[in-house]
Amino acid sequence: MSSVPDAAAPRFRFLPAVGTWKYHLLLASVAIFFLGPLGGVAASYMNFSLGFFVASQVLSGILGSVVTYGYGAEGKHGANYMQTMAASVASLCAMSVLIQSMVWLGMPQPPAWQLMLFVGCVGMFGVGVGMLYTPLLVDKLQLDYPSGYAVANILRALTDKRLLKASIAKLGGGTGLGILAAWLTEKVAAIAALSVSSSTVGAGMVVGSRITVPAMLMGLIGLGITPYLQGIGWLGPNDPYRKIGFLISLAMICGAALVDLALLAVQAVDRIRGRAQAPADNEPAWKKVNVPRLIAWVVGWGAAVVVVATQVLHQPAGFILFGLALSLLFVLINGIAYGISDNNPISSAFVMSVLLMSLLGLKDPLVGLMASSILLISTSVGCDMQQDRSTGWRLGTNRVVQFRYQVLGIFMGAVLCVVLARVFMGAYPVLSVNQLDHPDVKVAQWSSAMTYKFVGAIRDLGTLSAHKVTALLVGLGIGFTLEVIRKVVRRHPAYLRYVQGSRTGFGVGWTLDSLVLASPYAYAFGGFIALPAAIWFGMGGILTSLFNTVTKRFRREPAPGETVLPEDMSTMSLVGGGLIAGESLFYLFVGLAGLLSLLG
């Protein structure tokens, strides 16, 4: 591996020079043998016990910054490489619930090496697809990826004394508040009843009200139409809106993405014809990626998935190819949702794939699980790849080197995923009990909510109802139509002059962007999550807008010699990022503490 060498020497003489093989050996060893397994064990435990997992980017970034502190400001890149690798390990380890799903469904267990090979090949395919979409989601759309935003701020602050001094109170205060809020949620019933999440509020503070208010609005609309949907049979008597809302939301994103991809295709044709072609030298060296090689990577590992699935695991090629094709779509769709809201709806993508395979007539649960697991793993590691690239985009980290670290993480994650599944289910037999068939079994802390959702979806194979198809078509139509109207209105010169020319115009622009013609991507988030989460997300964005409006009046010019934080290290982004980091750290340590108490 190599990166652009730094002119500045390390602060400590024992540290290897930046860009040398010893430098990368140091970083990779710490990440793959310590940070990765640490996050991987926590992620696997959390998925078995809580039904969700927190990726280890924040913890790995902080610990990685300790290792690279001696490199000064340049150390942010090394710490970024380490958190990238560690996060890949954790993302794949969290997929151990797929093996638990096989046990719940009574499926025969393939040998461990076969599962490792399959998971590894899918992981390699997924990171390639995620990298393929990076220029669109990170460079062109410049999505925030709130957790990636937070990690970038942490790495910059911890490795640069000037930035640390200027930002420590805001970042540290937000982190402390996030830990405190998470602890109170766990310990105080009244606060828990509010369903408050500091990371959800923090994500809203990072992205702003034009994204969060539409999500909150969609959640409120869903609440309002729930009785009607229950009356026509789309929902059961006690079902919340999001049980059908997630289908509408996924389809809305598909419809909007169709518009954006069509426009990108037109731009690509223009470039090919020589119009709007930017000189190659305008692209920074750290951004450059060999696209033909990347496409070959995706095709090659896609072929490897097919070979392993058909020749080793004896699955039909047709649905395996269908799973790969869906991955190409959903890594983009989930990447957009993740970039806007810090929520990667991997379980929704899994359920959607099962529904689509039902529509094609599939009834074999093992085939459905294997094909859907391709989508699940790909969206997990592919969207994680995009989030890490967003961190790298803010730091100027070499993408090729970061990709290589991610690939090494996939190797370790594929092995640990299977090992941890076998270890946990062997140590705690209750994890092997199908809670759908045995709802009265006492499972203590092992709720396995994600497995519960997967197995429930697989059991619905071959029974896709007409109203779910209608919901998909409705969402697709809304997303497509809304995005077309937005593109026309928001590009009109007269409209742009009006909204930029006065306070009244600004207010009209905010109203259109947040309420009337909001982004379908933003609206969609309200269908993925429970209403309280949508409201807290909305409140975070509103808080940022109010803060920025008030402080704008009192803003002063910086004094000579005063450290000026980068624009994307604003007060609210630092505090919001701290809230995300605080809750992430709290639940990671809760997971590790719970595991250690069981082992003790």
Q: Which long-range contacts (CB under 8 A, 24 or more apart) does 58-61 make?
A: 58/147, 58/150, 58/151, 58/154, 58/580, 58/581, 58/584, 58/585, 58/588, 59/35, 59/584, 59/585, 59/588, 60/31, 60/35, 60/36, 60/86, 60/87, 61/151, 61/154, 61/155, 61/158
Cα–Cα distance between 536 and 196 in angstroms, integer?
7
Poorest-confidence range of 370-374, 552-556, 573-577?
552-556
Q: What is the pLDDT of residues 214-231, one digit of tens each?
A: 989 999 999 999 999 999
Residue 307, φ and ψ in degrees, nearest 5: -65, -50
Mean of the pLDDT values across residues 496-509? 85
Measured on CA atoms in the order 532, 534, 538, 541, is the torsion positive or negative?
positive
CA nearest 153: which of 58, 286, 87, 11? 58
Q: Give the burial string for 75-89 (b: 16+ CB within 10 Å, else e).
A: bbbbbbbbbbbbbbb
CA nearest 288: which of 426, 120, 402, 449? 402
Poorest-confidence range of 154-163, 181-190, 530-539?
154-163
Place of tokens 């649960």: 365
Q: Tell me, yes or no, whether 150 lies in a domain.
A: yes
Cα–Cα distance between 21 and 34 in angstroms, integer?
19
State what percent of residues in the chain have pLDDT above 90. 17
**CA neighbours closer than 13 Å in the CB half-sphere of residue 172:** 9
Query: Which amino acid is it at 212?
Result: T
Query: Cβ(219)–Cβ(589) under 8 Å?
Result: no
pTM: 0.77
Q: Tell me, yes or no, whether 439 lies in a domain.
A: yes
Q: What is the pLDDT of residues 357-414, one digit of tens each?
A: 888 888 888 888 889 899 989 998 998 888 888 888 888 888 889 999 999 999 999 9
Mean of the pLDDT values across residues 23-29? 90
**pLDDT interval class at 239 (50, 70, 90):** confident
pLDDT of residue 35: 83
**pLDDT interval class at 149 (50, 70, 90):** confident
Q: Tell me, yes or no, whether 238 lies in a domain.
A: yes
**pLDDT interval class at 1 (50, 70, 90):** very low
Residue 184: domain span: 21-104+113-271+291-553+567-597
Query: Which amino acid is it at 214?
Result: P
- Highest-confidence range of 238-252, 459-473, 549-563, by mean pLDDT? 238-252
Query: Which amino acid is it at 554?
Result: F
Q: Tell me, yes or no, whether 146 lies in a domain.
A: yes
- HEC profile for 491-504? CCHHHHHHHHHCHH
Query: Cβ(391)–Cβ(55) under 8 Å?
Result: no
Statement: residue 584 has pLDDT above 80: no
User: In the structure encoding, which two tokens stand for residue 528, read together?
Assistant: 């993925």
Poorest-confidence range of 145-159, 419-433, 453-467?
453-467
- Helices 36-49 and 571-599 sit at what angle, rounded to 10 degrees? 80
Q: What angle do CA 497, 499, 502 make, to 5 degrees?
A: 95
Cα–Cα distance between 216 and 218 in angstroms, integer?
5
Mean of the pLDDT values across residues 243-248? 82
Q: What is the pLDDT of residues 307-345, one digit of tens each?
A: 999 999 999 999 999 999 999 988 988 888 888 777 777
Mean of the pLDDT values across residues 206-212? 84
State what percent of residues in the chain have pLDDT above 70. 86
Query: Cβ(32)–Cβ(408) under 8 Å?
Result: yes
Cα–Cα distance between 19 and 17 in angstroms, integer?
6
Q: What is the pLDDT of residues 72-102, one digit of tens each?
A: 888 888 888 988 888 888 888 888 888 888 8
Q: Tell me, yes or no, whether 1 lies in a domain.
A: no
CA nearest 380: which of 49, 89, 82, 31? 89
pLDDT of residue 55: 64
Q: Tell me, yes or no, whether 163 lies in a domain.
A: yes
Cα–Cα distance between 292 and 243 in angstroms, integer?
41
Give how many domains the chain has, as a whole number. Answer: 1
pLDDT of residue 334: 84
pLDDT of residue 311: 93
Place of tokens 């959903």: 330
pLDDT of residue 270: 65
- Highest-confidence range of 9-13, 113-117, 272-276, 453-457, by mean pLDDT? 113-117
**pLDDT interval class at 278 (50, 70, 90):** very low
Cα–Cα distance between 525 and 537 in angstroms, integer?
10
CA nearest 80: which of 414, 403, 408? 403
Measured on CA atoms in the order 417, 401, 28, 71, is the torsion positive or negative?
negative
**pLDDT interval class at 565 (50, 70, 90):** low
Instruction: Spell out the residues 6+ positions from residue 452 whose beta carbon is closer than 8 angstroms to its own.
Output: 51, 435, 436
Cα–Cα distance between 176 and 273 in angstroms, integer?
54
CA of 545: how far to CAs of 15, 174, 209, in Å? 44, 17, 6
Query: Which amino acid is it at 38?
Result: L
Per DSSP, the three-state class of 557 is: coil
Cα–Cα distance between 390 and 240 in angstroms, integer?
34
Q: Tell me, yes or no, whether 284 lies in a domain.
A: no
- Helices 75-93 and 21-30 sit at what angle, rounded to 10 degrees? 40
**pLDDT interval class at 116 (50, 70, 90):** very high
Q: Tell me, yes or no, whether 55 lies in a domain.
A: yes
